[in-house]
Amino acid sequence: MGFADWLPYLCKLSLFYVDFLEELNEPQRQAATSVEGPVMIIAGAGSGKTRVLTYRIAYLVKQGIDPFHILSLTFTNKAAREMKERIASVIGPSEAKNLWMGTFHSVFARILRSESDRLGYPSNFSIYDTDDAKSLIRTIINEMGLDDKIYKPNTVYNRISNAKNALITAHAYRQSTEFISDDEQASRPRLFEIYQTYTERCFKAGAMDFDDLLLKTYELFARFPEVLYKYQNRFQFILVDEFQDTNFAQYAIIRQLAALYQNICVVGDDAQSIYAFRGANIQNILDFEKDYPELQTFKLEQNYRSTQTIVDAANHLIAKNKAQLPKKVWTANPSGERIKVYRALTDNEEGQFVANQIFELQMNLQKEHSDFAILYRTNAQSRALEEALRKQNIPYRIYGGLSFYQRKEIKDILAYFRVVINPQDEEAIKRIINYPARGIGKVSLDKLLVAANDQNVSLWEVMGNPAGFGASVGSGIQRKIQEFRLGLERFRQVATKANAFELAQELAKHSGLLKELYADKSPEGVSRYENVLELLNGIKEFCDQVEAGTIDRTPTLSSFMEDVALLTDADETDDDQRPKVSLMTVHASKGLEFPVVFIVGLEDTLFPSQMSMSTRAELEEERRLFYVAITRAMERLTISFAETRYRWGQLVHNEPSQFISELDQDLIDLIKPAYDPMSQIQGPSDPFRKKLSRQFSIPEHSKLRSTNQAKAAPGKPGLGASEIRPGMLVRHHRFGKGKVLNIEGKGPDKSATILFEGGEKRLLLKFARLEEGGNGE
DNA sequence: ATGTAGAGGGTTTTT
DNA sequence: CCCTCTACAT
């Protein structure tokens, strides 16, 4: 680096020293500078937590601590990256480079890769995602001849996952009277055997699932004190962000690592704990005080993010929860607008309302589209919102849902990569052995798998010599297996030298996968093809970055793959830089803030979710979730609910969420829909209904409407199946305008072939909900 | 072995 | 509703 390169950094550095103390309020300053010993920072929403963490690390470095000795655990990789950038701008990029920052899973995966031999794992072990794990569990359940109605792969997976997050190994599970008796009561007495077999099969495949990354790390440190000692000395200062969302296993590992130096700083907010469903435990916060009697606790209570109204509303709501640490979040910000509460008639109408609001506010308040966020409880709710935004030509981006790396075509090609890197990876082989089709069907695969189990060798080994391991496949098939295996074997040779991009490109071609996708000219097929090309581009970018020294890695495929399995939805980048409205689940919105926020779908059984209404603890978690959603808003907050919405393709009626009635009624304004066919809107009578009905003038005493709700919705009349004729111009909510070409079938199975702009579709009329439309064509 | 129709099941939330 | 798995035909 020349002097000119250093100049901006020197300027920033001096600025930092000048501004540093003045930029922080008193508790923030103390939290940032009390760097010795155990520290807990309870950081209310919007209280400048990230700033404190950044300055704390900068302060440590300024005190002469080598960044090499600092470990910072964050909730997403993106959070880690952003914080690293901020720190780099303060202490300089070369220093910041040595900081270890990342998610629990990615940091521990790195440790496990370098220490894997001690646990008998290869250093290039595969990471099974949830689908891989469930697929293996399904296989085992079938092999054991168990009924998958009773042993549901999902349930079994969750059970095993819970056990692992509580650091219960398969062996310990068997001894645990609690787990065993629970299973017996659920008439799943053989669950522990599945767990046992699952563990063995993962080991044989050189694979770890997400939970193993924690469990095995704990095991590694517990069994090898010298390894633990090494990392204790490496990480003399440990910071944990989002501490309220750590589970028992994560906390146990932190405790191991911090045992020697005790320089452990955790930051969290019990009011924002929203991951209990995956084992996160508020108890960790309470235990922390017991485990570290010397603990210094700091509370950050001043909110810099939101208006007075929003802060008050959030406080008022969360006060309904029993289990919480005492704190008082306050703000010096102006009171701002009242919170809007909107009752929509349908989910689609709710979407229209939000889209219209964004359109208007964007004009009136001179906002960018990126200033808006729409938050919902479940991913499935995004559909109606997307549609409405598209109609208004509002650019948006969806976070989460089916992420890029979860798409079938991407997982397929990644499976090829995985086998090249680790040929023992059984789930990856199963995925690609007959894709693209090469004549190795289910029957042959089963024979190979049975042999692999009987002989206790890997699938890959059996494929090398099926007859030798007692798999009686025909000679033709055997040749095909051989060919497939040799092809991969050859790539394994190349892999040791070639860079990731060349290798990946060759693999995509050679496997026939690109050709297969290219042949499919349907819109979906084209997009699948493009996705694979995009992945290859991503790999190219990775190689370029390594070459340029931007990231400190080797340009190998396995190096690329190390990151991929642990990417989170929030980590995905968007090349298109146009400002966009953000759509995401409330969970995904954690840690973010937006000037204008819409929280949609505040309905009973949706938010709070049906699944979480049976116990007080679950309901409190839902309430915290709502609290998180509210506190994302800086200036303007709108909450909405719909009277009816499509769920599982059926129109269902919903009651407003109890959380709406829990809001401080003095802080909200109720908005009516522009059109208001009140006579159609009816509902049962209850106290809350009474209140709402006063505000909305809903008749209190009236029967629940049963059918034909769609008619109450605005828009063109729906067409009945009998009214559809060939040649008619129609409109479909999803595919847009189209022309009916042909009618087939009769009665309930009557279907129509319709030419839409996006191509021909055949639709069952009882589902299609066609409207009259396409005038003027 | 492979393709297709029809049944069945699924929606919390995610590393 | 939509996707995946299963059963049957080819």
Distance A181 CA to B7 C1' (A): 35
Question: Which H or E run contains A130?
Answer: helix A130-143
Task: Answer whether residue A134 shows pLDDT above 60.
Answer: yes
Distance A182 CA to C8 C1' (A): 41
Residue A690's pLDDT band, with cuts at 50, 70 and 90, is very low
Lowest mean pLDDT: which of A237-241, A494-498, A692-696?
A692-696
Residue A721's pLDDT band, with cuts at 50, 70 and 90, is low
Q: Which residue out of A28, A29, A49, A164 is catalytically annotated? A: A49
Helix H, strand E, coil C: the string for A476-543 is HHHHHHHHHHHHHHHHHHHHCCCCHHHHHHHHHHHCCHHHHHHHCCCHHHHHHHHHHHHHHHHHHHHH
- Does the CB of A764 sit below 7 A from strand C? yes
Return the closest nucleotide (C1') to the Cα of A442.
B1
Helix spans in A611-749 (H): 616-630, 658-662, 687-696
Percentage of residues in chain A having pLDDT higher than 90: 55
Distance A11 CA to C5 C1' (A): 63
Task: Answer whether residue A680 shows pLDDT above 60.
Answer: no
Q: Which residue out of A418, A430, A632, A645 is catalytically annotated? A: A632
Alpha-carbon dihedral sign for residues A675, A677, A678, A684 = negative
Percentage of residues in chain A having pLDDT higher than 70: 83
pLDDT recorded at residue A698 = 36
Compute CA A544 distance to the chain's CA centroid, rounded to the nearest angstrom: 28
What does the block give as tokens for A757?
Answer: 């702009």
Catalytic annotation on A631?
A: no
The predicted model scores a pTM of 0.84
Residue A297's pLDDT band, with cuts at 50, 70 and 90, is very high
pLDDT recorded at residue A564 = 84
Q: Out of A581-590, A629-638, A688-697, give the one with best mean pLDDT.
A: A629-638
One-letter identity of residue A9: Y
pLDDT recorded at residue A753 = 66
- Does the CB of A649 sit below 7 A from strand C? yes
- Does the CB of A767 sit below 7 A from strand C? yes
pLDDT recorded at residue A441 = 86
Could you give phi then psi for residue A597, rounded to 5 degrees? -125, 135
Strand C near-CB residues (< 7 Å), A 371-430:
408
Return the closest nucleotide (C1') to the Cα of A569.
B14
In tens, the pLDDT along A191-201 reads 999 999 999 99
Position with higher pLDDT, A295 vs A772: A295
Distance A708 CA to C5 C1' (A): 33
A258-283 average pLDDT score: 90
Task: Answer whether residue A630 shows pLDDT above 50.
Answer: yes
pLDDT recorded at residue A769 = 55
Could you give phi then psi for residue A747, rounded to 5 degrees? 60, -140
Nucleotide C1's nearest residue (CA vs C1') is A649
Q: Which residue out of A272, A357, A381, A585 is catalytically annotated? A: A272
In tens, the pLDDT along A449-467 reads 989 999 999 999 999 999 9
Task: Answer whether residue A571 shows pLDDT above 80.
Answer: no
Cβ neighbours of residue A138 under 8 Å, at least 6 residues apart?
A148, A153
- Does the CB of A137 sit below 7 A from strand C? no
Residue A211's pLDDT band, with cuts at 50, 70 and 90, is very high
Catalytic annotation on A209?
A: no
In tens, the pLDDT along A440-451 reads 888 888 889 989
pLDDT recorded at residue A663 = 96
A396-402 average pLDDT score: 81
| Closest alpha carbon to A243 in A83, A74, A86 | A74
Compute CA A771 distance to the chain's CA centroid, rounded to the nearest angstrom: 36
Cβ neighbours of residue A457 under 8 Å, at least 6 residues apart?
A469
pLDDT recorded at residue A717 = 40
Distance A168 CA to B3 C1' (A): 45
Distance A383 CA to B1 C1' (A): 38
pLDDT recorded at residue A691 = 44
What does the block give as tokens for A332?
Answer: 């010096």
Q: Which position has the token pair 């847009």? A: A736
Distance A148 CA to C5 C1' (A): 13
Return the closest nucleotide (C1') to the Cα of A209.
B15
Rounded CA gap, A165 and A150, in Å?
23
What does pLDDT average to over chain A? 84
Rounded CA gap, A758 and A296, in Å?
62
A376-400 average pLDDT score: 90
What does the block give as tokens for A777?
Answer: 């064509």
A498-510 average pLDDT score: 92
In tens, the pLDDT along A107-116 reads 999 999 999 9
Strand B contact nucleotides, protein CB < 7 Å: 1-3, 9-15
Three-class SS of residue A250? helix
Near strand B (CB < 7 A), which residues? A 75-76, 103-106, 130, 149, 152, 154, 210-211, 274-275, 277-278, 377-380, 400, 434, 437-444, 477, 566, 568-570, 585, 587-588, 609, 611-612, 618, 647-649
Distance A709 CA to B3 C1' (A): 40
pLDDT recorded at residue A770 = 62
Residue A415's pLDDT band, with cuts at 50, 70 and 90, is very high
Return the closest nucleotide (C1') to the Cα of A75.
B15
A70-78 average pLDDT score: 90
Three-class SS of residue A349? helix
Task: Answer whether residue A499 shows pLDDT above 50.
Answer: yes
- Does the CB of A690 sit below 7 A from strand C? no
Return the closest nucleotide (C1') to the Cα of A763.
C1
pLDDT recorded at residue A759 = 55
Residue A2's pLDDT band, with cuts at 50, 70 and 90, is very low
One-letter identity of residue A448: L
pLDDT recorded at residue A22 = 75
Rounded CA gap, A159 and A147, in Å?
17
Catalytic annotation on A50?
A: yes
Nucleotide B13's nearest residue (CA vs C1') is A587
pLDDT recorded at residue A565 = 80
Return the closest nucleotide (C1') to the Cα of A650.
C1
| Closest alpha carbon to A110 in A651, A600, A563 | A563
pLDDT recorded at residue A245 = 92
Catalytic annotation on A296?
A: no
Compute CA A52 distance to the chain's CA centroid, rounded to the nearest angstrom: 26
pLDDT recorded at residue A91 = 86
Q: Which residue out of A129, A209, A242, A427 is catalytically annotated? A: A242
Strands A207-209 and A771-772, sheet pairing = unpaired
